[in-house]
């Protein structure tokens, strides 16, 4: 992403301001292709004036939107799901061009976006308030769910289409308006959704998509007095800034932040199954997912065999043009992300780590441009190295041996993060002990990620607060009003 800061020609992709295309501030962002470093698209940007206009329209339109029948709101989402399905090839291509995600995985992301729209259309149709008995005759207590108002939604670049629907769907289903700030690297996915939402019947003004710099658009959005709730997926650093600004206004936030997931394999596990899942969970989206296998812990008696199998399976992955259907691993999203991963590996090697596979940028004409890094496997990794402490967000797997259950727990919990954990064992008693002991918001037992949209995706520690998905995620977009009702029972 490059901020050019000056108006461009008519090929600039407009922002979506209160339901209408707009060139925003006149400054632009160049979207850089991860594949070859070229300019893939140029997009307009928003600033304080666009935020003011977007929120003003959202406040006005949301009053009417909240008053319509829930089933009518759900039907808009159902129509949106059908439009997403209609345009799946185009949308997947947008994701691939923006992020460098292999096209097969981008198609899966479109499926995920459709599933979010359908799920929350259904949830909204079945969820209401509560009626509780009162303290005497002619008395009841009603607990109503009411929309919060205008939602500020901040979206990362790694799943730009699916996460737009993850935030948008429960928000509008429960009667809110949404001002959405996409990542600088990947605004085209969210802008495409906004166009389809209009076609599906979402009222103009109920959704604005405002690309721009996080420190400008994101911060202004959180500080705006008419934003009632902020939902964000992204880095822990950005989440801390949002939480600080939201605290000044005393508004709720939902923050899904970084992860450092342990992938724990005991010697009684199905090794073929564990290796396959460990590779898939590490290499999905080139390791650029908060639920990725960030630290692989394997019981010492099978450690060498696991490493050999893991390396063999990883070598079979095809690194290449993500637009090709046979590609498994594409480029990193940006030069900065590539340099971060490269630095983590190089530093670990200097500290004594052994490179079992990869550990460098790939060679070959097709990799001379763009942001490429080989799938990498490390052993003998020091526990205090940054590759074991910080989120890698790349195709790098540190594999570390452990002796017993207590050590596996201690190593897994030795992190500030607490989003996901993975456990492979055939001992059900151990499964229950480990579930109790692991300090993370979700645990995958003998199965790979990612999470399912009917669950509740939420982290502990510096992985965030609040959460997404399912009924519990839907509930975050409403607030409760208690009514103490009394009537005359003598007539």
Question: What domains lie within the chain, and their CATH numbers?
Answer: 2-257+464-480 (3.40.605.10), 261-453 (3.40.309.10)
The β-bridge relationship of strands 261-265 and 293-299 is: parallel
Cis peptide before 291 (omega within 30 of 0): no
**Cβ atoms within 10 Å, residue 168:** 30
Six-digit token string for 215: 């420190």
Residue 141, pLDDT score:
96
- Torsion angle of the four alpha carbons 397, 341, 106, 38, in this order, in degrees rounded to the nearest 10: -150
**CB-based contact 22:50 (threshold 8 Å):** yes
Residue 2, pLDDT score:
47
Q: What amino acid positions are annotated as catalytic residues?
A: 256, 290
CA separation, residue 284 to residues 267, 277, 289, 421 (Å) = 25, 10, 7, 16
Residue 10, pLDDT score:
56
CA separation, residue 424 to residues 26, 83, 143, 304, 401 (Å) = 53, 39, 43, 17, 14
**CB-based contact 472:272 (threshold 8 Å):** no
pTM of the model: 0.94
Residue 30 pairs with which residues in a beta bridge?
2, 42
Residue numbers of the chain with a pLDDT score lower than 70: 1-10
CA separation, residue 111 to residues 101, 107, 183, 187, 471 (Å) = 15, 6, 21, 19, 20
Residue 238, pLDDT score:
93
- Torsion angle of the four alpha carbons 110, 114, 120, 121, in this order, in degrees rounded to the nearest 10: 160
**CB-based contact 200:83 (threshold 8 Å):** yes
Residue 249, pLDDT score:
93
Residue listed under structure tokens 């979010």:
116
CA distance linking residue 322 with residue 93, whole number of Å: 10
CA distance linking residue 392 with residue 285, whole number of Å: 13
Long-range contacts of 122-131 (CB under 8 A, 24+ apart): 122/74, 123/170, 123/173, 123/470, 123/471, 123/474, 124/70, 124/73, 124/74, 124/77, 124/170, 124/173, 124/174, 124/474, 125/70, 125/71, 125/74, 127/471, 127/474, 129/480
**Cβ atoms within 10 Å, residue 127:** 16
Six-digit token string for 462: 């510096």
Q: How far is Cα of residue 386 from the mean position of the Cα atoms in its chain?
A: 23
**CB-based contact 81:121 (threshold 8 Å):** yes
């Amino acid at each position: 992403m490059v901020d050019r800061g000056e108006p461009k020609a008519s090929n600039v992709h407009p922002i979506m301001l209160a339901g209408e295309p707009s060139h925003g501030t006149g400054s632009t962002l160049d979207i850089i292709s991860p594949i070859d470093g070229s300019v893939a698209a140029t997009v307009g940007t928003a600033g304080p004036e666009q935020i003011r206009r977007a929120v003003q329209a959202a406040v006005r339109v949301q009053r009417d939107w909240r008053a319509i029948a829930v089933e009518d709101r759900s039907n808009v989402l159902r129509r949106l799901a059908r439009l997403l399905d209609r345009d799946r090839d185009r949308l997947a291509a947008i994701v691939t061009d923006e992020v460098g995600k292999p096209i097969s995985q981008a198609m899966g992301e479109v499926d995920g976006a459709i599933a979010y729209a359908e799920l929350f259309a259904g949830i909204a149709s079945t969820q209401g308030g509560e009626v509780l008995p009162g303290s005497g005759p002619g008395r009841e207590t009603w607990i109503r769910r009411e929309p919060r108002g205008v939602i500020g939604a901040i979206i990362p670049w790694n799943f730009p289409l699916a996460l737009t629907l993850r935030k948008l769907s429960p928000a509008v289903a429960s009667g809110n308006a949404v001002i959405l700030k996409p990542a600088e690297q990947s605004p085209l996915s969210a802008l495409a959704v906004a166009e389809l939402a209009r076609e599906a019947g979402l009222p103009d003004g109920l959704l604005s998509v405002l690309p721009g710099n996080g420190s400008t658009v994101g911060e202004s959005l959180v500080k705006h007095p008419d934003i009632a709730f902020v939902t964000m997926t992204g880095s822990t650093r950005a989440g801390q800034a949002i939480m600080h600004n939201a605290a000044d206004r005393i508004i709720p936030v939902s923050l899904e932040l970084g992860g450092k997931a342990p992938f724990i394999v005991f010697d009684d596990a199905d090794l073929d199954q564990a290796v396959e899942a460990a590779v898939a969970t590490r290499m999905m989206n080139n390791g650029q997912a908060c639920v990725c296998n960030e630290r692989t812990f394997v019981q010492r008696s099978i450690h060498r065999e696991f490493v050999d199998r893991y390396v063999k399976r990883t070598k079979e992955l095809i690194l290449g043009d993500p637009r090709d259907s046979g590609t498994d691993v594409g480029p990193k999203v940006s030069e900065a992300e590539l340099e971060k991963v490269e630095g983590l590996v190089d530093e670990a090697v200097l500290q004594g780590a052994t490179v079992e596979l990869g550990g460098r940028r790939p060679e070959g004409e097709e990799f001379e441009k763009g942001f490429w890094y080989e799938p990498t496997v490390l052993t003998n990794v020091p526990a205090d190295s940054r590759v074991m402490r910080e989120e890698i967000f790349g195709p790098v797997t540190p594999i570390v041996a452990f002796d017993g259950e207590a050590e596996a727990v201690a190593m897994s919990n030795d992190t500030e993060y607490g989003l996901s954990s993975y456990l492979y064992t055939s001992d059900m008693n151990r499964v229950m002990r480990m579930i109790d002991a692991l300090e993370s918001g979700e645990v995958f037992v003998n199965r790979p990620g990612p999470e399912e949209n009917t669950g509740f995706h939420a982290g502990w520690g510096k992985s965030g607060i609040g959460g997404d998905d399912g009924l519990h995620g839907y509930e975050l977009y409403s607030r409760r009003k208690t009514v103490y009702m009394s009537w005359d029972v003598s007539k």
